[in-house]
Amino acid sequence: MRKIIINGGRPLNGTVKVSGAKNSALPILASTLLLSGKASITNVPLLNDVITMMRVLRVLGLRVEYSEPNTMNVWINGKVRHVAPYELVTKMRASFFIIGPILARMGLAKVPLPGGCAIGFRPVNYYIKGLEALGAKIEMEHGFVIAKASKLKGAPIYLDFPSVGATESLMMAATLADGDTVIENSAKEPEIIDLANFLNKCGAKISGAGTQSITIKGVSSLRAADYRVIPDRIEAGTFMVAAAITGGDVLVENISPEHISSIVTKLQEAGVSIVMGKNSARVTAPQGINAVDIKTLPYPGFPTDMQPQLTSMLSLAKGTSVITESIFENRFMHVQELKRMGADIQIEGHSIIIEGVPHLSGAPVRTSDLRAGAALILAGLAAEGETLIDDMDRFIDRGYEKILSKLERLGADAKEVK
């Protein structure tokens, strides 16, 4: 079990390059199940979750080869299987979306229910309802969802909630259906647009990605194309907060400014100075951080994946901040650990009330999920003294490529201990 030791209190200064988007690379890799020929996907972050997806695709019968830098070559070489491996899919809850491409390709899919994780129960009812709308027969058996459809038929689908994974899964399934599908109240995240752009490059006919209504005209087959994954907007936001919380001055490069406007706006409201470049953001910490209120919302609202990081930053703000988490039902696991470091936070249902304190003090803390881990790193960078963060491989390595070397290059005293 890998741990991180951080000696805090050092301002971060310098330049950091953001990696490719984890939450775009994962569905794009899953969509290669729909293709014939070899796809070469670049700017893929080498993360535990991406490695897990590589292993899932290999178990399903695909050839997947990684080559430096950040390139994944994927092709189908022989028979594709329809049963997704139990221990791999349940390890990565948000990989359930693979049911769409497996079903569209094979006419049959057997995928384990994701089950709960630290931030919530991760139900899949919107996926099931959507696949049934496309003509699939669905059964549940021994922890697996079994979907059958010799040929999916295009249909109108309405999502009760703009679920990212359900939008991606149903969009992938609909590309090879007979006829047209319209997904109403679809998620609008940039990762949805990235997936649609990749599939359209492979011959799909998807329009409206990024809006609340996506139309997919079914085609008979898709041919692999090469593609470069967009930058990771959450990694970008995380490093911007790292500059703000440590009193530093950091140039965050390789970003898509249009994907982080809600994060930039909120940080500027908190007094952080941010100068946007074409693909960069120059972040300079204020003398003191202002308290702000935040409510997490589906894109383009403030992203839930940045909520833990802002909790850390606002723990040191002047005044009282209120953060409301409207996406997941249990995404405050980092609060207890921040309180161990001296933060003054109360949980009230789906909101937390943060009374800013003058400083945090380093302590041994536990991570519960990927973004909570990032929040504890940020708190450790700002805290006085030493913070020991456990379970790095289980969580932090899942979402932040080479995070320690990136932080050290910015002047952080952060080391890995076995």
Binding span for ligand EPZ by CB under 6 A among 2-10, 115-123, 170-178, 337-345: 115-123
Residues whose CB falls within 8 Å of the CB of residue 215, separated by 6 or more in sequence, listed in order: 180, 181, 182, 206, 207, 208
DSSP annotation string for 315-340: TTSBSEEEEE--S-S---HHHHHHHH
Residue 164 binds to ligand EPZ (criterion: CB under 6 A): yes
**Site membership for ligand EPZ, residue 304 (CB under 6 A):** yes
SS3 of residue 279 by DSSP:
coil
Is 124 a binding residue for ligand EPZ by CB under 6 A? The answer is yes
d(CA 345, CA 323): 10
Using a 10 angstrom Cβ sphere, with 0-12 exposed, 13-18 middle and 19 or more buried, the burial of residue 87 is: exposed
DSSP 227: E
Please give the Cα distance from 65 to 62 (Å, whole number): 10
User: Which of residues 369 and 390 has its CB atom nearest to ligand EPZ in the complex?
Assistant: 369
d(C-alpha 243, C-alpha 76), whole Å: 44
Nearest distance from residue 186's CB to ligand EPZ, in Å? 11
Q: Is 91 in the site for ligand EPZ (CB under 6 A)?
A: no
Q: Which is nearer to ligand EPZ, 199 or 370 (CB)?
A: 370
Q: Is 45 an interacting residue with respect to ligand EPZ (CB under 6 A)?
A: no
What x/- string results for residues 306 through 345 when contact with ligand EPZ is judged by CB under 6 A?
---------------------xx-----------------
* Residue closer to ligand EPZ (CB basis): 91 or 371: 371
Residue 117: active-site member: yes
Q: Is 26 in the site for ligand EPZ (CB under 6 A)?
A: yes
Q: Which is nearer to ligand EPZ, 391 or 413 (CB)?
A: 391
The CA angle 113-118-119, to the nearest 5 degrees, is 90
Q: Is 302 in the site for ligand EPZ (CB under 6 A)?
A: no
118 binds ligand EPZ (CB under 6 A): no
- Residue whose CB is less far from ligand EPZ, 12 or 370: 370
Interface with ligand EPZ, residue 371, by CB under 6 A: yes
Is residue 305 part of the contact set for ligand EPZ (CB under 6 A)? yes
Q: How far is the CB of 331 from ligand EPZ (least distance, A)?
A: 8
Helices 233-245 and 370-382: angle between axes, nearest 10 degrees: 20
Q: How many of the other CB atoms lie within 10 Å of CB of 139?
A: 10
396 lies in the binding site for ligand EPZ (CB under 6 A): no
Smallest distance from ligand EPZ to CB 378, Å: 15
Q: How far apart are CA 376 and CA 369, in angstroms?
A: 11
Under the criterion CB under 6 A, does residue 122 sit at the interface with ligand EPZ? yes
Interacting residues with ligand EPZ between 248 and 287 (CB under 6 A): none
182: helix, strand or coil: strand
Give the alpha-carbon dihedral of 280, 189, 243, 361, to 10 degrees: -170
User: Judged by CB, which is closer to ligand EPZ: 119, or 289?
Assistant: 119
Name the catalytic one among 102, 117, 136, 264: 117
Piece in contact with ligand EPZ (CB under 6 A), picked from 105-113, 122-130, 212-220, 356-364? 122-130
- Residue number, 30 or 363, with CB nearest to ligand EPZ: 30
Write the CB contacts of 103 (distance below 8 Å, at least 6 apart in sequence).
Answer: 82, 109, 131, 136, 147, 149, 152, 173
Nearer to ligand EPZ, 255 or 363 (CB): 255
Cα(264)–Cα(285) distance, integer angstroms: 13
Size of the site for ligand EPZ (CB under 6 A): 23
Residue whose CB is nearest to ligand EPZ in the complex, by number: 165
Compute the least distance from the CB of residue 310 to ligand EPZ, in Å. Answer: 14
Query: Which residues lie closer than 8 Å to 222 by C-beta, 6 or more apart?
Result: 34, 35, 36, 175, 176, 199, 202, 203, 204
> Which of 127, 198, 227, 332 touches ligand EPZ (CB under 6 A)?
127
| Contact partners, residue 356, CB within 8 Å, separation at least 6 | 289, 291, 314, 315, 316, 317, 318, 319, 320, 321, 344
Closest by Cα among 203, 204, 199, 158 to 182: 158
According to DSSP H, which parts of 43-163 are helical? 48-59, 86-91, 99-106, 125-133
Does residue 147 touch ligand EPZ according to CB under 6 A? no
**Chosen residue from 120, 210, 257, 271 binding ligand EPZ by CB under 6 A:** 120
Kindly state whether residue 192 participates in binding ligand EPZ, applying the rule CB under 6 A: no
What residues make contact with ligand EPZ under the rule CB under 6 A? Answer: 22-23, 26, 94, 120, 122-127, 161, 163-166, 304-305, 327-328, 370-371, 399
List the catalytic residues.
Answer: 117
